[in-house]
Chain A
Amino acid sequence: MIDVNVSLSRWPFRRLPDDETPRLVKRLKEAGITQAWAGSYDALLHKDVDGVNRRLVEECNTHGDGLLHPFGCVNPMLPDWQEDIRRCREVHQMRGIRLHPNYHGYKLDAPEFDELLRLATENKLIVQLSVMMEDERTQHPLVQVPAVNTAPLSDVLSHHPAIPFILLNSQREVQGEALTRLAAAGNVYFDMAMQESVGGIEKLLRLVPHDRILFGSHAPFFYHESASLKIEESDLGETLRRMITVENASRLPHSN
């Protein structure tokens, strides 16, 4: 199985049971994960983004056992951020990047976001965007970060139809018709880490085509079992189960 939503290093506000990479890798292997796309929690608040990305790559290489694939941080509010995109591709040889517009302070109709998507397309990078990391109700009182407003996204992505774009942790914010519209806007995919309700994946399948849903756990912030158990809870059948847990992600452009 391919988990498109894990993170390394330290969650800024508490220690997590699996925030040491070897432990996380062990947990992932036990769950049958053969490949995990890893961002870094350091990406949320650090400003030395290339330092974050270098450590991320090194951690994946040292402890990843071939399983972890680094997804770099790019923050278009920082000076000379375009260089980070180049380095992600050329120096760090990453497949993709992971964005946190809410922690970095820009809206999705900002010109920088448009330029970022253009550069990511040129550099053949998968773009992941994390809509939220933590329930707004439980955040640290001095660091309250609202979820990303995805309303401008369909429009922006229609200008970048080639880019493989993955929304992580989106289901609390993007629902119903808005979700269906977004799925139709471009080459857009969704992980299911924050999909809730009984038989949740079945419900997601009513709104999003089955080739656009990817297995993502949001571990180690979430217990990894949550994602695996969701696959069990929904009545998917073998074909759909394989698509969501392996094939959809492995078919993504720039995946290999």
Chain B
Amino acid sequence: MIWDLHCHLSGVDGSTPDERIAMLMEYADRMGVERLVFFMGMNWSHEPTPDDLRQQNHEVLQAISHWHDRAFGFAYVSPQHVEASLEEIGRCIANGPMVGIKLWVAGKCSDEAIDAIIERAAELKAVIFQHTWFKVTGNLPGESSPLDLLTLARRHPQVPIICGHTGGDWERGIRAIRAASNVSIGLGGFDPTAGVTEMAVRELGARRVIYGSDIGGRSFASQLAKVKGADIPDKARQLILGQNLRRLLLPILREKGIEA
């Protein structure tokens, strides 16, 4: 069972969300990926306006509307626009089909401005995905590192949070969030550097490690390789490829009556 935590509609052939998701599903079939989580729309900006957020969420809602059996959506929100984000959570999650939130690079997640968003998502049992990187070349001004995520996770110790990209520089990323047991890592969206999954399983345990691809910028292939090629027990591989994500999603899926 393979579930993909981290999928986008950008960087994909096709002029509409419907065309793009249909195209992606063909490749998902070929690679044995059963279910996919989508967030963010066709055109991105580092600091989205409330209108951008609405537009991008609209595109994801449109894309997943014909794929209820396979595709999930996370609402794209921003700590720069807390009110608009809470409205989007209401529209897309509380009153819509989405099951999580995605936070990207508009503002650091260590900033308390984000707390109202985290609390509302937690209330709804929505899964929280925060992009993180440790770039030796320098992060964007609002781009969180895994240490920023640690700060956030310590303020909300009961809320499960996913550390996107494992910080890219995973030897530092894994260490940064190691002590916060409510944090899982997302394996998608950096090169298939050998050893990452072995270290993650060793330091965090397999239950805190989640496969995701970051398609269309990445391939299923390079990202699946991190799990399929890792020297880890098969049981750990199953957890990482799908069971962990399913476990995190089950509470909200049950409330929505979605079968999984």
Complex contact A223–B136 (CB within 8 A): no
- Collect the chain B residues with CB atoms within 8 Å of residue A194's CB: 191
Complex contact A138–B30 (CB within 8 A): no
Complex contact B30–A232 (CB within 8 A): yes
Closest beta carbon of chain A to B189's beta carbon, Å: 10
Closest beta carbon of chain A to B138's beta carbon, Å: 9
- Collect the chain A residues with CB atoms within 8 Å of residue B168's CB: 135, 137-138
CA distance A136 to B138 in the complex (A): 11
- Check if A15 is an interface residue, CB within 8 A of chain B: yes
Complex contact B27–A18 (CB within 8 A): no
- Check if B194 is an interface residue, CB within 8 A of chain A: yes
- Check if B69 is an interface residue, CB within 8 A of chain A: no
Residues of chain A at the chain B interface (Cβ within 8 Å): 14-18, 134-141, 144, 194-200, 219-226, 229-230, 232-233, 235
- Check if B219 is an interface residue, CB within 8 A of chain A: yes
- Collect the chain A residues with CB atoms within 8 Å of residue B67's CB: none
The CB with the most chain B CB atoms within 10 A, among A18, A136, A195, A197, is that of A197
The CB with the most chain B CB atoms within 10 A, among A136, A140, A199, is that of A199
Complex contact B219–A18 (CB within 8 A): no
Closest beta carbon of chain A to B227's beta carbon, Å: 9
What are 20 A-B pairs at a CB distance below 8 A? A16-B195, A18-B194, A137-B168, A138-B193, A139-B136, A198-B11, A198-B12, A198-B24, A200-B219, A219-B194, A222-B194, A223-B193, A225-B192, A226-B192, A226-B229, A229-B219, A229-B224, A229-B228, A230-B222, A232-B31
Complex contact A233–B218 (CB within 8 A): no
Complex contact A144–B137 (CB within 8 A): yes
Known A198-B216, A230-B221, A233-B221: A225·B228 in contact at CB below 8 Å: yes
CA distance A149 to B231 in the complex (A): 35
Complex contact A135–B31 (CB within 8 A): no
Q: Which residue of B lies closest to A195 (CB)?
A: B219
Closest beta carbon of chain B to A146's beta carbon, Å: 9
Q: Mark B1-36, 1 if CB is under 8 A from A, else 0.
A: 000000000011000000000011001001100000
Residues 22-67 of B at the A interface (beta carbon under 8 Å): 23-24, 27, 30-31
Q: Which residue of A lies closest to B226 (CB)?
A: A223
Known A15-B195, A230-B222, A232-B30: A137·B133 in contact at CB below 8 Å: yes
- Check if B180 is an interface residue, CB within 8 A of chain A: no
Known A223-B225, A229-B224: A197·B133 in contact at CB below 8 Å: no
Q: Which residue of A lies closest to B224 (CB)?
A: A229
CA distance A198 to B27 in the complex (A): 7
Known A223-B194, A225-B225: A196·B137 in contact at CB below 8 Å: no
CA distance A14 to B23 in the complex (A): 38
The CB with the most chain A CB atoms within 10 A, among B11, B12, B169, B193, is that of B193
Complex contact B195–A17 (CB within 8 A): yes
Q: Mark B159-178, 1 if CB is under 8 A from A, else 0.
A: 00000000011110000000
Closest beta carbon of chain B to A161's beta carbon, Å: 33
Known A14-B195, A139-B136, A232-B30: A198·B220 in contact at CB below 8 Å: yes
CA distance A229 to B5 in the complex (A): 19
Residue from A134, A139, A141, A229 within 8 A of B225 (CB atoms):
A229
- Collect the chain A residues with CB atoms within 8 Å of residue B170's CB: 138
Known A198-B24, A198-B220, A219-B194: A138·B169 in contact at CB below 8 Å: yes
Complex contact B219–A196 (CB within 8 A): yes
Q: Mark B89-123, 1 if CB is under 8 A from A, else 0.
A: 00000000000000000000000000000000000
- Check if B198 is an interface residue, CB within 8 A of chain A: yes
Closest beta carbon of chain B to A204's beta carbon, Å: 11
Residue from B190, B216, B229 within 8 A of A224 (CB atoms):
B229
CA distance A238 to B190 in the complex (A): 30
- Collect the chain B residues with CB atoms within 8 Å of residue A138's CB: 134-136, 168-170, 190-191, 193
- Check if B201 is an interface residue, CB within 8 A of chain A: no
Give the 8 A-B residue pairs with the shortest CB-CB distance, closest first: A223-B229, A229-B221, A225-B229, A226-B225, A225-B225, A226-B192, A230-B221, A223-B225
